[in-house]
Amino acid sequence: MSVVGMAKRLGSSLAQLERLTRPVDPEARRALERRWAELPSHVRTPAQTLGRMAVGCEGTHGVFPRCNFTCTPCYHSRDANHVRVDGAHTVREVERQVAFLRSVRGPHAHTQLIGGEVSLLSPDDHAAALLAIRRHGREPMSFTHGDFSYEYLERLALGPDGRPRFRRLSFAAHFDTTMRGRQGLRRAASETDLNPYRQRFCEMFKRLRAEHGLRYFLAHNMTVTPANVEEIPQVVRDCHAMGFNMFSFQPAAFVGDERRWAEDYRLLDPDYVWAKVEEGAGARLPYEVFQTGDLRCNRTAVGFYVKDRWYPVLDDQDEADLAARDAFFTYLGGVHWNAPFPLLVLRLARVLAANPALGSLALKWLSRTLRRAGGAKKVLRALASKEVVPMTFVMHRFMHAKDVAPAWELLEQGRLADDPRLLEAQERLQACFYAMAHPESGRIVPACVQHAVLDPQENQELRQLLPLPRRPQANPSRQAVP
Ligand code: SF4
């Protein structure tokens, strides 16, 4: 090869490396800017993560509506349980929805594989749906009631050749006393009764990791009602070290199947629910450092446990921490944190090389955080005994269908409501963090709109398309493995 040829080849390889190690993908940057421009002004705060760090969460819909539990409340419409579980339909629809999300919302996001109960899918169909989500640049998370066997999990995790088909699995597991149907505990009298089931769920993933090397991320979801709100602190105290890295609390809303509305959910005050979570964590949970959409919808506190005490990664009452947050958004907003590790290191190195002051900012933040957590010695000792656990607390408040339907109808007409309650619903919908895709109409809608407005019709149509078989369907998650 001539010298000119070699120089050209070298130049093109360097250009490729330059593109690959850019801290933020230009397409991701454009998607973030679009999301920021769409946000209503009341949520464009210095703490807002939408449009700065992420485009928001995504969820599937209408891909496997059926569930084998009967919870009170249930967000699915009354027809959902008359729809057959059909793996081919699931995989095809997931593929369509995520391809559309990819085209509109850019190359990276977190997508929830959600609908009815995910473990009613065969392990292979479940895996195919997760792989479809990954193919479109998304980090999938399966939503489950957690009542499946280790054999099911292993068959999901391993391909036909017996080797892992994923590097990591993420699950959000719903455990609380509003649920009916768990094997061995059809109906829990108290949240504490569910602890062995929570523990068993986490143990399955520890075993999977030990036997097959798969990493995992587990979130614990709990629907909060007036009947179980007082039990939140005990749930957090009992379960924070089981293996979960997120506790998400959903105050119940009047949405979905009205036959399953059991109490007056309007009695749930968000400040009271959050105070109960704080009581369990043994700490104030600063939720205004990172804002995800509208604070009336979401509260998020990011931190970690050292033994039995939780500490925030950033304290909203510390000006230096807020400055660190601002620098994080400015210089690292849009970085794809799930990129392969060596690539991530190179990208971060480029950010640091261009902004050397970030190094000392990061070191000062680390020293403040260690001091808050009791000092480096204490944290290191806890690390050695595996008693440092990253933990994010979330509260997500779905809205009542009665408010969402008229609020959305007016928004569709381009009108803002006069009624303050509907206006609040509109503001929250406009700042929604949790989106669902409709490729057939080219729309992306808030999950509240999906559940309150679109699900009933969609499930009626699915009931026609996928009628239940005459004989009951076998449940793959409970079948014995040959
Ligand atoms: S789904 Fe509803 S409650 Fe959740 S962020 Fe969107 S508008 Fe708010």
- What whole-number distance in Å separates Cα of residue 177 and Cα of residue 189? 7
Where does 75-143 have alpha helices with state H? 87-105, 123-135
Q: What is the pLDDT of residue 478?
A: 63
* Burial readout 315-351 (b: 16 or more C-beta within 10 A, e: otherwise): bbebeebbebbebbbebbbbbbeeeeeeebebbbeee
Q: Side-chain half-sphere of 314: how many Cα atoms within 13 Å?
A: 22
Helices (H), 136-258: 150-157, 195-212, 232-239
- Quick one: tokens of 11? 């130049």
CB 241 within 8 Å of CB 310: no
Q: State the distance from the centre of ligand 1 to the C-alpha of 144, rounded, in angstroms.
A: 20
Q: Which tokens go with 321?
A: 């921490």
User: Which residues contact ligand 1 via a Cβ below 6 A?
Assistant: 293, 297-298, 396-399, 428-429, 432-434, 446-448
Can you give the pLDDT of all 482 residues of the chain as single tens digits?
788 888 888 888 888 888 999 999 999 999 999 999 999 999 999 999 999 999 999 999 999 999 999 988 988 888 999 999 999 999 999 999 999 999 999 999 999 999 999 999 999 999 999 999 999 999 999 999 999 999 999 999 999 999 999 999 999 999 999 999 999 999 999 999 999 999 999 999 999 999 999 999 999 999 999 999 999 999 999 999 999 999 999 999 999 888 888 888 888 999 999 999 999 999 999 999 999 999 999 999 999 999 999 999 999 999 999 999 999 999 999 999 999 999 999 999 999 999 999 999 999 999 999 999 999 999 999 999 999 999 999 999 999 999 999 999 999 999 999 999 999 999 999 999 999 999 999 999 999 999 999 999 999 999 999 999 877 667 777 654 33
Q: Is 110 helix (H, G, I), strand (E, B) or coil?
A: strand
What's the 430 CA to ligand 1 centre distance in angstroms?
9
Instruction: Answer whether 435's CB lies under 8 Å from 57's CB.
Output: yes
Ligand 1 atom 2: residue of nearest CA: 448
Residue 281, H or E segment: helix 270-281
Q: What is the sign of the dihedral through the CA atoms of 265, 270, 275 and 276?
A: positive
Torsion, CA 206, CA 208, CA 209, CA 213, rounded to 10? 180
Q: How far is the CA of 296 from the centre of ligand 1 (A)?
A: 9
pLDDT at 472: 65
Q: Which amino acid is at 356?
A: P
The helix or strand, by DSSP H or E, that contains position 186, with its residue range, turns out to be strand 185-187
CB 444 within 8 A of CB 436: yes
Element (H, E) at 427: helix 420-430
CA–centroid distance, 323 to ligand 1, in Å, is 28
Dihedral pair phi/psi, residue 300, rounded to 5°: -140, 130
The atom of ligand 1 lying closest to the CA of 398 is: 3
Give the model's pLDDT for residue 49.
97
Determine the distance from the C-alpha atom of residue 332 to the mean position of all C-alpha atoms in its chain, rounded to a whole number.
21
- Ligand 1 atom 6: residue of nearest CA: 432
Question: What atom in ligand 1 is closest to the CA of residue 292?
Answer: 5
What are the φ/ψ torsions at residue 117 (nearest 5 degrees)? -105, 120
Q: Classify 165 as helix, strand or coil.
A: coil
Tell me the pTM.
Answer: 0.94
Q: Distance between CA 415 and CA 411 in Å, rounded?
A: 5
381 burial via Cβ count (<10 Å: 0-12, 13-18, 19+): middle
**267 C-beta neighbours (distance < 10 Å), count:** 11
Question: In ligand 1, which atom is closest to the CA atom of 296?
Answer: 8
Query: Ligand 1: which atom is nearest the Cα of residue 433?
Result: 5
d(CA 207, ligand 1 centre) in Å: 35
How would you classify residue 63: left for phi > 0, otherwise alpha for psi between -120 and 50, otherwise beta? alpha
- Sequence-separated contacts (24+) of 360-365 with Cβ below 8 Å: 361/323, 361/324, 361/327, 362/324, 364/320, 364/324, 365/314, 365/320, 365/321, 365/324
Contact yes or no for 435/54 (Cβ under 8 A):
no
If DSSP states are collapsed to H, E and C, what string results for 303-341?
EEEECCEEEECCCCCCHHHHHHHHHHHHHHCCCCCCCCH
Which pLDDT score, from 0 to 100, does residue 481 have? 38
The widest CA-to-CA distance across the chain, in whole angstroms, is 80
Task: Report yes or no: 133 and 100 within 8 Å, Cβ to Cβ.
Answer: no
Ligand 1 midpoint to CA 446 (Å): 6
Residue of 396, 401, 379, 416 whose CA lies nearest to 303: 379
Question: What local confidence, expressed as pLDDT, does residue 118 receive?
Answer: 98
Give the residues across from 83 on adjacent strands.
Answer: 467
Domains and CATH numbers, the chain: 31-307+388-477 (3.20.20), 320-386 (no CATH)
Q: Mind giving me the DSSP string for 197-219?
A: HHHHHHHHHHHHHHHH--EEEEE
Q: Measured between alpha carbons, how far is 16 from 10 in angstroms, rounded to an integer?
A: 10
Neighbour count for residue 15 (Cβ, 10 Å): 10
Q: Which atom of ligand 1 is nearest to the CA of 428?
A: 7
Q: Strand 109-113 vs strand 443-446: parallel, antiparallel, or unpaired?
A: unpaired
Ligand 1 centroid – CA 435 distance (Å): 8
